[in-house]
């Protein structure tokens, strides 16, 4: 086997590991549709909507009533998050990928967390404000 073949097999193995990791991460977190989240926010006071996008993204558009802690600040802002310990934290980002990571981090920190499926893009498509 030459070095090009070894490189190819290593690359394939890394891609497979990445896909498996993503699937396991996805399965470890609850996911809600925008309609589910809107209904939960109306009837349940123990639900918090958390925007994990960058400050620049939040300036462009955000879901009314949501809190904002960028993904890269989640572990640094643990004291700020303690006030949400008894609530379900539904994370959102632009498409649902970063919020999936955030919801997983929250679970590891002992919070009840979930992900807004499709992020703010799906929220806006559903016509929710």
Residues designated as active site: 93
DSSP β-bridge partners for residue 49? 90
- Residues 6+ away with beta carbon under 8 Å from 128: 34, 35, 38, 63
Q: Strands, DSSP E only, in 1-129?
A: 30-32, 47-51, 67-68, 88-92, 112-116
CA pair distance 68, 91, nearest whole angstrom: 10
Q: Do 122 and 81 contact (CB within 8 A), yes or no?
A: no
DSSP 95: S
CA pair distance 118, 31, nearest whole angstrom: 10
């Amino acid at each position: 086997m030459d070095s090009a073949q070894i490189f190819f097999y290593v690359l394939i193995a890394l891609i497979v590991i990445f896909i498996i990791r993503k699937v396991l991460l996805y399965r470890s977190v609850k996911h809600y549709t925008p309609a589910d989240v809107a209904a939960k926010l109306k009837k349940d006071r123990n639900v918090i909507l958390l925007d994990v996008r960058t400050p620049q993204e939040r300036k462009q558009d955000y879901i009314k009533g949501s809190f904002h802690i960028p993904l890269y600040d989640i572990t640094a802002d643990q004291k700020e998050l303690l006030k949400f310990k008894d609530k379900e934290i539904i994370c959102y980002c632009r498409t649902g990928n970063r919020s999936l990571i955030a919801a997983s981090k929250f679970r590891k920190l002992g919070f009840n967390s979930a992900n807004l499926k499709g992020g703010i893009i799906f929220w806006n498509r559903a016509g929710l404000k």
